[in-house]
Structure 1
Amino acid sequence: MATPLTHDDPAALGPFRLVARLGSGGMGTVYVARSAGGATVALKTMHPGIAADPTARTRFRLEIDAARVIGGRFGAEVVDADPVAETPWLATEYVLGPPLDEAVERGGPLPERALRALGAALCGALGALHRSDVAHRDLKPSNILVTAYGPKVIDFGIARAIGDDHLTRTGSAVGTPAFMSPEQAGGQEHGAAGDVFALAGVLVHAARGTGPFGGGQAADLLYRVRYGEPDLGGVPDALVPVLAQCLSKDPALRPTVDQLAAQLHDGRGEFADQLPETLLAEIGRRAAEVWQIVPQRMPAPLAEPVPGPQSGAPRAAGISRRALLTGGGAAALAAAGGGAWWRSRKEDSTGQGAKGPVQTRNLDPVWELGQNFGDTWGSGIGTPVAVAGEIRVAMGAVTYVVNPKNGLRKDDFLADGTPWQVVVSQGTEYRLDIARETAAKIPPAGISVWDLDQDYIRNTKAYLRGTNFETPGNQLLGVFGTVAYVAVGAGPPTKQAYGFRRNQVFTLRAVDVKSGEELWSRPLPERPDESRPLHFASATVTGGSLVTLQETRPGTVHVVVRSTRTGQVVWEQPYGDTDEDARAALRAPLAVGDGRIYLGGPRLRALRLTDGKQDWATPSGQAYGPPAFRSGAVYSVAEDAGLKALDAASGKAGWTELSTDDGSPSLGWAPVLGDRWAYYRNGVHVYAVDLRTHRVVRTFKTTATAFYADRQDDLVLGMGASALSAYPLK
């Protein structure tokens, strides 16, 4: 995503005028730039301090050479470069397509046909390098841009000639641990066979959202790469033996890229025809986006304030390098624990602003809408969803439409939909609805979408045949990519407005909302008459796994993980305490990341996604609320302590909120994570904790018990039985 130029960025480099920043990392900065003739390019530079190092300049020259070797067909074509300039730079074509990791994160895992086409095309790219005796040495999802004409490999910063080790110290491992070859992880020579190993890891990631050796600390990853067996769960069955051979620890046992390409694809058909529609739409969006970039430049910062005796000067938030995508025209930029540095200077965590102290405690919400959002059918209060510049809360026959700027209700609309039957995915609102265009005597349930162009709800092709739309326990768990996961019933409806009946038969199904194809159906346990809790408290999809908290029998909740491909249960474990107080916490968003599921309760614990085995747990004696996960860390509210951060891989304590308030931390919901602050309920307030200083910097009055991030409007939405409220998301 492009951002304005800073005040000290150059106006031009070589013949190119700089337009915007794409990202900045430890080595340099990538810009959007335009030539005198109007051509748009991605222009990469080196930081001045690094450019002073002769070895770094040599690497930059080799990067340019490798980019020229792979050419425009398989990489970003080199337009111009000057490796000997005072600020070395490289200009390449602006590639119109997302990085593979973002494509999978946004649209879900790729289907088998797309995996095969992608793999074969990447074999062609690597083959071009290998025929020139060059190994890439850092092939990973963020270094692959997906276009309608095929993938393009970028970032040749550590590529070098096969057999040439003069730029690498003996015994040192250079690259990205999750996608290194075993020989590279051991500091040995990484040649063509090493790139094949990395390519297999990339395809595993594309197939399920995680690599073959999971995540975690670099040392743990390096050990698993060298000595552990790859995890190929969630990979299409036909591809498992192919990729397993590529992931052999012995380079001699791996196929060449030509041999691998022959096993993956026959070479017929257009690449775009193999891609899912969601990915093609994202490619089209990015193609249009480049022409909408308006040149902007940030003003020079004001002079630093002099720190007072009780506080330090505000510290600039550092920028961490998630992925610096050279030549491809896209860079993912992650702020290290906070917002932009110029914003933090306006007001520091002590509450000292440019005009003196500002009120930071007992603040009113941004707005509050009083309304009856009481518990519905024993399944919790309403759930707000942000879509198309509105906030909507489905409450049965009526959906409330709220203006996010002021909290005023707009024109509500009549539409069947309960909180557990409406979700938003990739900006589209989906509803479990009546399948209107069927001749069935009992109308089945179907999946509908809110058509923004026509401003009405319409059915998709996804009809859930053999179901009864009027069964109240029908539940839409979520839509991930193009696949909807639903719990649907058959049999007579419940006479009352709530409760199951023993003679109703429920199934869990996966259905493609684009084609209407039902991918699988699995039976769900029988429910006794008038029992109320839904089959599923919460659910999410990660890689090839559907992760759920499921009531397997009345009063008993299990963590159940299923294969998204077949619906078969991979494993299940008891959740633990599920009394009425704990039940509300079950509805919080699930925390999943780095190959683990993180759960609160009497202890905070991490279960492996692959087999449900416990990786770690905190000591007994201190209860935790449901956690949230981000970038290798787990955040949870601890009893009598407030917000805590722990290392996701080991469970070791990172930091605990620094607060002098007595308070009563609520364990009933997961914290909401912004870029600068984390939010949770404490007593009758929402606490905002600065993620850098670990101090409570704001408290807001609240009646809410559940909180959601509305990132399109920069709000935290709080839901209570009697009000919907909003707080600034920072």
Structure 2
Amino acid sequence: MPTPLTHDDPVALGPYRLIARLGSGGMGTVYVARSAGGRTVALKTMHAGIAADPAARVRFRLEVDAARVIGDRFGARVMDADPLAETPWLATEYVLGPALDEAVEAGGPLPEQSVRALGAGLCSALGQLHRSDVVHRDLKPSNILVTAYGPKVIDFGIARAIGDDRLTRAGAAVGTPAFMSPEQATGQEHDAAGDVFALAGVLVYAATGHGPFGSGQAADLLYRVRYAEADLGGVPAALVPLLARCLAKEPGERPTTAQLASRLHDGVGEFADHLPDWLLADIARRAADVWRVVPQRLPAPAVEAGPSEVTAPPARRGRSRRGFLAGAGAVAVTAAVGGGIWSYRRRDTTPPAKEPRQTRNIAPLWQYGGRGSLEMDWWGLIRPYRANGSIWLPMNATVKRLDPSDGRSRQLLFEGNWWQAAAVNDRLYLLGQDFDGQGRSMAIVTWDEEQSYARRTSTRLADAAYVIKPNQLLCISDDVVYVAAGYGKEAEDYGFLPSQTWTLRAADLKTGKTLWTKPLPKRPARSHRLHFLAAKVVGGRLVTLQEVADKKVHLVVRDTGSGSVLWDTPYDVEDIDSLRSEIAADGSRVYVGGDRLRALRLSDGSQVWATESGRRYSPPTLKKGVLYTVGKGVGLTAVDPERGTRLWTEATTEAEEAYTGWQPVIGNRYAYYKNGFQLRAVSLTAHDIALTYQTDAVQFHADTRSGLVLGVDDDFLSAYPLT
């Protein structure tokens, strides 16, 4: 796990700022580091003394080459490297998973299915190397990282081309004794068969917690590797014959990686499906923890100040001149030492110099929640609402009220669901029970701040059953509320029933009258997909993203006066829940993302403009006459909404992980969107990355009154400054 930097570790190497240490050995040190754009990497360096050896530098360059050969599927992706620097360094992706030895030490031996899947993955990794005529030569548990997507092989410090012995002294054994092949133990040629031998040793360790030749002194291990039979005690019986063949003393008797892979695993299922729960939990924890690493540096060791006390000789009556001078000298020495002690203490007690403002990997202002607390069963992540000076979280049995300044819960109030709420003019409205309707009607309720209770308005919806869970409050505009209401029997699983009748209605909040009612399609039993993902009133039109069937979305625009459908067009996106973002529309056009960024006429749905296909775009955000979207591989982009021309694109080379599953949040100075595990704040004037924040959130909402970006994931509501 990461540890603080030492006082003499460099501040940065290349474009990467060092954050923490991952480990240090005889060859060099590995750091956690971050780029200016917030990308976290593992940065490996070589000790200065070793870097002075030209042969060591050649090895380092070969390690970089080998890491590039194996690629990011089976290894850690190489982000950058400088083997010629004064301190040679290699930056790779930060792999989110433990080393195999750490995993086994923490949780014990892996079950057989995990060992088989692990072995098959490692066969593929080694096969990639061997096809490029490269052998690893140091495969061992600490050089294998276990991720949810498969094992990754790292540390190619002694890898080399097959048949190339220019950097190996004749007769020298190079590698780790416990996992060496017999030929490697005698300093002979180590080819692909030698890697297979080491792989078998790794699998024995994974299955039992110990290597096939035990432990002890290097000389003892090398002897056992060459002459003793492997200890396969504890290995699952079905694996013993296969691993014994891999551990044959003669290289020609061992299977190839392809043959071994076919015997280990049939390739069915995802790698994560074969891992034990405790290991998956550890992987998830590490994935979250890495973004919470805060830069720390240990202070330099205190310099000893010398003798702490100097004593003058006893005073005598009638001192001689010599005695006076000696005494004066003693006083002077004491004063000097005393001054030194005072100065040292002064440095300790004086407040440290103000550190530069942190601009990367900043922690949230506050978080509220707990494990799984914000995932509302089948209905998706909760949506926060800003009203009455608070942040409201409708969470079914209760509606929780949070203080925007610190996230503390003020009260636990009445019941309500996030899809049955709306906030307008700093007031909270919800669908509520009409106690006079005998279960045949619903009411619109609002929070009365003076009386501290949910007060019913005059608006009641007849032939609507409050107990039906998927009832929706779509939006409120100009004192008109739009509701999807169900009538009939409540489903046992709280979802839909084919016997239920569904309607879309508009009702006047002032008069309480229903203005119009339109039928909605029926839903099959056991469906838990709401009728609408989002809705907005603009230009006399009710613009909706409607699931006309499960996972089938249409953009449906209705006349607000009559409820009649003016136009209806399919809307195909990869992530349907991304459409819960606020709809981007003005009095003339509706703007949508997906495989292209498009503008459709509000009047008839005809296309005004569209970008070229081939790039995925997030749902867009319209702010002050500019359309903002996140493009896969390019990051934040600003577009002229009238013509569809690009105004500017974020200045970054790190947009591979740009998140298109939610619209960007736009402030006055910055635009916010998720990239990897960071929330980026991009300057609206300089167009570069101004700030990055730690985040696990996947949906983001603007609370302009509180000046907050509210990020939501399964576990937490996280608050960030909205500037």
TM-score by length of 1: 0.50
Q: For residue 620 of structure 1, what is the amino acid of its counterpart?
A: S
Q: 1:555 aligns with which of 542, 548, 551?
A: 551
- 8 Å CA contact retained: 1:388, 1:427: yes
Give CA-to-partner distance per residue, 1:18-59, whole Å, 9 cap, x none: xxxxxxxxxxxxxxxxxxxxxxxxxxxxxxxxxxxxxxxxxx
What residue number does 2:402 align with?
Answer: 402
What residue number does 2:644 align with?
Answer: 651
- 8 Å CA contact retained: 1:474, 1:486: yes
Q: Establish whether residue 480 from structure 1 lines up as the match of residue 473 from structure 2.
A: no
Cα distance, 1:355 vs. partner?
7.0
Alignment of 1:279-678 (within 5 A): 357-371=356-370, 372-413=372-413, 415-436=414-435, 438=436, 440-497=437-494, 499-577=495-573, 579=574, 582-661=575-654, 664-678=657-671
Cα distance, 1:356 vs. partner?
7.5
- 8 Å CA contact retained: 1:483, 1:512: yes
Q: For residue 435 of structure 1, what is the amino acid of its counterpart?
A: D
Give CA-to-partner distance per residue, 1:138-193, whole Å, 9 cap, x none: xxxxxxxxxxxxxxxxxxxxxxxxxxxxxxxxxxxxxxxxxxxxxxxxxxxxxxxx
Cα distance, 1:662 vs. partner?
5.0
> Unaligned 5+ residue runs, structure 2?
1-352
Q: For residue 666 of structure 1, what is the amino acid of its counterpart?
A: Y
Alignment of 1:23-422 (within 5 A): 357-371=356-370, 372-413=372-413, 415-422=414-421
* Counterpart-to-counterpart distance in 2, 1:555 and 1:684: 27
What residue number does 2:708 align with?
Answer: 715
* Counterpart-to-counterpart distance in 2, 1:460 and 1:688: 41
Provide the aligned length of Structure 1 versus Structure 2. 370
Cα distance, 1:401 vs. partner?
1.5
Distance 1:611 1:532, change over 3 A: same
Q: Secondary structure at the match of 1:394?
A: strand
* Counterpart-to-counterpart distance in 2, 1:516 and 1:374: 33
* Counterpart-to-counterpart distance in 2, 1:459 and 1:594: 33
Q: Secondary structure at the match of 1:585?
A: helix
* Counterpart-to-counterpart distance in 2, 1:657 and 1:450: 42
Runs of 4+ residues deviating >4 angstroms: none
Identity %: 41
* Counterpart-to-counterpart distance in 2, 1:509 and 1:428: 21
Cα distance, 1:526 vs. partner?
1.0
- 8 Å CA contact retained: 2:632, 2:656: no
- 8 Å CA contact retained: 2:538, 2:587: no
Q: Secondary structure at the match of 2:578?
A: helix
Cα distance, 1:412 vs. partner?
1.6
> Unaligned 5+ residue runs, structure 1?
1-353
TM-score by length of 2: 0.50
Q: For residue 535 of structure 1, what is the amino acid of its counterpart?
A: H
Larger radius of gyration: 2
Q: For residue 478 of structure 2, what is the amino acid of its counterpart?
A: G
Give CA-to-partner distance per residue, 1:286-321, whole Å, 9 cap, x none: xxxxxxxxxxxxxxxxxxxxxxxxxxxxxxxxxxxx
* Counterpart-to-counterpart distance in 1, 2:482 and 2:358: 46
What residue number does 1:119 align with?
Answer: none
Give CA-to-partner distance per residue, 1:107-127, whole Å, 9 cap, x none: xxxxxxxxxxxxxxxxxxxxx
Q: Secondary structure at the match of 2:714?
A: coil
* RCO higher in structure (CA 8 A, sep ≥6): 1
Q: Secondary structure at the match of 1:410?
A: strand
Q: Secondary structure at the match of 1:378?
A: helix
Cα distance, 1:444 vs. partner?
1.5
Aligned-pair Cα RMSD in Å:
1.5
- 8 Å CA contact retained: 1:573, 1:612: yes
Q: For residue 396 of structure 1, what is the amino acid of its counterpart?
A: N
* Counterpart-to-counterpart distance in 1, 2:640 and 2:590: 13
Distance 1:518 1:374, change over 3 A: same
* Counterpart-to-counterpart distance in 1, 2:706 and 2:718: 13
* Counterpart-to-counterpart distance in 2, 1:555 and 1:679: 28
- 8 Å CA contact retained: 1:373, 1:720: no
What residue number does 1:272 align with?
Answer: none
Q: For residue 487 of structure 1, what is the amino acid of its counterpart?
A: A
Distance 1:431 1:662, change over 3 A: closer
- 8 Å CA contact retained: 1:373, 1:382: no
